């Protein structure tokens, strides 16, 4: 019963929070820690093989063949760890912020956590879609109600993009349901379908567009920088740290294994789009003076490398994608939290109005530097092993693709170190007030992030071991389908 509890407890806690209302942030933090505790228990009982474990299945809408079926394997467990591990940090990072109607704010955060967990554990296509939409609704209201001055226009664009992709995916899911014997949404029945090549092609694009918008991958990314900038910091952390991983996970679980022939035909196009996004976003990041926008574009570049790794489809690249999704979540939450600390103290996002902060806040300077080093994949930081495996996998596909994809590390180092230099080093900007060093919850969040960065960087084996068998099995399954059939 570990998995049903982990999924439903955040949902129940969000409803209770709306009733209790008092001590909202403390209530949300305790609820997220309880969920994390049960996740650790589940992880300790997980056997790192290729099997689906902790499977639960209950009839939901029996007449339509819809079941509440969930399970965990080595591909979904890292995503559950990411979601439930980041949630307490995101809530704790918001303690210095004041939100009007905070009970509603934190209830939405917990509701979104439940939706994300459904996405990462669903073994029923309809349930996957329900979780996909359930995760979208709360983040829309979080951004629309507590965002910046341009939040309405920006969130309308975000909503249109995501709902368009979701509807395309829903059409593809219904089509697959109608093709299954006995008409079911069960993932095993859908995996077993022998869909024609032409049908696979349009299904591929229906799923791919939905997932590419969420990641986001070029050219479906244009909603992201504005939304990340206008969202409250907790909302930006949820979007960048966890929500975009829904798209990558969806491609691994629900796109490539379902339509392998279309993947063989169109996978190269997806790789090209991902690589274009790496270079494009990195170049744009060079020109940004708004700290939140710079981090937003850097996220597009790094996720582009993860997406390229997924679509080259070999064990090394998929292992890199799995661990790098987790690492990217940790690092980007750290970067946006650092940006939030700076913005709250200086009341500006413009790096022209910053400088010399390291002299006033040495502890903050050390924490900031560590997160920047992780973001540029310095050896012994968490991102190094992920990006190394991704580039190794891409290299096995194409040396030229690897060479261009590697620009994400080179260009990333340039604009991230340049950002650190402009904000933290040099003479103290006379226009800014005295910058207080971090303390309390700020220090707690950054210390935890720093420990995770170094621990995973020094010893990533346990995380890689969790997903190794499941990744190898999935790659072999898809490759065997490709060898046994023709497009």
Q: pLDDT, tens digit, for every residue of 212-240?
A: 998 888 888 888 888 888 888 888 899 88
CA neighbor of 77 nearest in space, from 188, 3, 4, 1? 3
Taking a C-beta distance cutoff of 8 angstroms, is the pair 114, 57 a contact? no
Residue in the structure block whose two tokens are 């499941």: 470
| Range scoring the smallest mean pLDDT among 26-40, 70-84, 342-356, 422-436 | 422-436
Cα separation, 19 vs 67, in Å, equals 30
- The beta-strand segments (E) located in 414-463 are none
Task: Report if residue 55 sits inside a domain.
Answer: yes
Taking a C-beta distance cutoff of 8 angstroms, is the pair 71, 54 a contact? yes
Task: Report if residue 54 sits inside a domain.
Answer: yes
| Range scoring the smallest mean pLDDT among 155-159, 329-333, 409-413 | 155-159
CA neighbor of 158 nearest in space, from 147, 169, 174, 173? 147
Confidence of residue 381 (pLDDT cuts 50, 70, 90): very high
Q: pLDDT, tens digit, for every residue of 448-485?
A: 999 999 999 999 999 999 999 999 999 999 988 887 76
Tokens standing for 214? 């969420």
Count of residues making up the chain: 487
| Range scoring the smallest mean pLDDT among 6-10, 95-99, 175-179, 184-188 | 95-99
Confidence of residue 486 (pLDDT cuts 50, 70, 90): low
Collapse the DSSP code of 186 into the 3-class scheme (helix H, G, I; strand E, B; otherwise coil) and give the result: strand
Is the Cα dihedral 257, 259, 264, 270 positive or negative?
A: negative
Q: What average pLDDT does range 427-447 have in this prediction?
A: 84
Percent of all residues in the chain with a pLDDT value above 70, rounded to a whole number: 99
Q: Is the pLDDT confidence value at 1 over 50? A: yes
Neighbour-count burial of 170, counting CB atoms closer than 10 A to its CB (0-12 exposed, 13-18 middle, 19+ buried): middle
Q: pLDDT, tens digit, for every residue of 188-216?
A: 999 988 888 788 999 999 999 999 998 88
Task: Report if residue 348 sits inside a domain.
Answer: yes
pLDDT given for residue 434 in this prediction: 77
Report the domain count for the chain. 1
Q: Is the pLDDT confidence value at 100 over 90? A: no
Neighbour-count burial of 246, counting CB atoms closer than 10 A to its CB (0-12 exposed, 13-18 middle, 19+ buried): buried
Tokens standing for 409? 């590390």
Taking a C-beta distance cutoff of 8 angstroms, is the pair 291, 423 a contact? yes
pLDDT given for residue 487 in this prediction: 45
Task: Report if residue 347 sits inside a domain.
Answer: yes
CA neighbor of 316 nearest in space, from 256, 389, 391, 406? 389
| Range scoring the smallest mean pLDDT among 147-151, 295-299, 356-360, 384-388 | 147-151
Taking a C-beta distance cutoff of 8 angstroms, is the pair 39, 6 a contact? yes
Confidence of residue 96 (pLDDT cuts 50, 70, 90): confident
C-alpha separations of 346 from 230, 339, 372 in Å: 17, 10, 20
Task: Report if residue 487 sits inside a domain.
Answer: no
Q: pLDDT, tens digit, for every residue of 2-34?
A: 788 999 999 999 999 988 877 888 999 999 999
Cα separation, 339 vs 317, in Å, equals 31
Q: What average pLDDT does range 136-163 have in this prediction?
A: 83
Cα separation, 112 vs 308, in Å, equals 27
Cα separation, 58 vs 67, in Å, equals 6
| Range scoring the smallest mean pLDDT among 148-152, 308-312, 428-432 | 428-432
Q: Which residue has the higher pLDDT, 456 or 152?
A: 456
C-alpha separations of 277 from 98, 228, 281, 325 in Å: 36, 17, 6, 17
Taking a C-beta distance cutoff of 8 angstroms, is the pair 119, 132 a contact? yes
Residues with Cβ < 8 Å from 421, sequence gap 6 or more? none
Instruction: State the alpha helices, DSSP H only, in 122-231.
Output: 125-146, 151-179, 187-191, 197-214, 223-230
pLDDT given for residue 485 in this prediction: 65
Domain extent, residue 30, equals: 2-482
Taking a C-beta distance cutoff of 8 angstroms, is the pair 77, 44 a contact? no
């Amino acid at each position: 019963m570990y998995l049903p509890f982990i999924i439903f407890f955040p949902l129940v806690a969000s409803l209770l929070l709306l009733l209790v209302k008092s001590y909202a942030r403390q209530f949300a933090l305790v609820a997220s820690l309880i969920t994390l505790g049960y996740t650790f228990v589940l992880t300790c009982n997980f056997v790192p093989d290729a099997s689906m474990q902790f499977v639960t299945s209950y009839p939901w809408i029996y007449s339509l063949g819809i079941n509440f079926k969930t399970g965990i394997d080595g591909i979904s467990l890292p995503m559950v760890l990411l979601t439930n591990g980041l949630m307490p940090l995101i809530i704790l990072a918001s303690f210095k912020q004041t939100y009007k109607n905070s009970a509603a704010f934190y209830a939405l955060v917990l509701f979104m956590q439940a939706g994300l967990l459904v996405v990462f554990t669903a073994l029923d296509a309809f349930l996957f879609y329900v979780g996909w939409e359930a995760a979208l609704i709360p983040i829309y209201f979080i951004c629309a109600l507590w965002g910046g001055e341009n939040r309405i226009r920006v969130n309308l664009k975000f909503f249109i993009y995501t709902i368009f992709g979701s509807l395309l995916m829903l059409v593809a899911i219904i089509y697959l349901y109608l093709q299954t014997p006995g008409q079911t949404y069960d993932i095993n029945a859908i995996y077993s379908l022998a869909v024609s090549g032409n049908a696979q092609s349009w299904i591929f694009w229906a799923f791919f567009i939905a997932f590419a918008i969420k990641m986001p991958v070029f050219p479906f990314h244009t909603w992201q920088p504005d939304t990340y900038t206008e969202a409250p910091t907790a909302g930006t952390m949820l979007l960048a740290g966890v929500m975009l991983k829904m798209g990558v996970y969806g491609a691994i679980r629900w796109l490539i294994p379902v339509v392998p022939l279309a993947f063989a035909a169109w996978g190269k196009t997806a790789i090209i789009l991902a690589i274009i996004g790496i270079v494009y976003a990195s170049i744009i990041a060079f020109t940004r003076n708004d700290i939140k926008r710079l981090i937003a574009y850097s996220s597009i570049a790094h996720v582009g490398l993860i997406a390229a790794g997924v679509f080259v489809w070999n064990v090394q690249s998929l292992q890199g994608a799995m661990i790098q999704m987790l690492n990217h979540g940790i690092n980007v939450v750290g970067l946006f939290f650092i940006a939030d600390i700076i913005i709250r103290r200086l009341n500006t996002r413009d790096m022209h109005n910053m400088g010399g902060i390291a002299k006033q806040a040495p502890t903050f300077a050390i924490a900031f530097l560590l997160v920047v080093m992780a973001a540029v994949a310095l050896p012994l930081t968490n991102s190094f092993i992920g990006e190394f495996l991704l580039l190794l996998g891409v290299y096995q596909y194409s040396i030229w693709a690897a060479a261009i994809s590697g620009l994400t590390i080179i260009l990333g180092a340039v604009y991230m170190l340049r950002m650190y230099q402009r904000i933290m080093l040099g003479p103290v900007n006379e226009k800014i007030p005295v910058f207080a060093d971090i303390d309390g919850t700020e220090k707690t969040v950054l210390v935890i992030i720093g420990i995770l960065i170094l621990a995973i960087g020094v010893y990533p084996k346990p995380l890689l071991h969790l997903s190794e068998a499941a990744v190898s099995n999935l790659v072999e399954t898809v490759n065997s389908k490709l060898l046994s059939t023709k497009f």
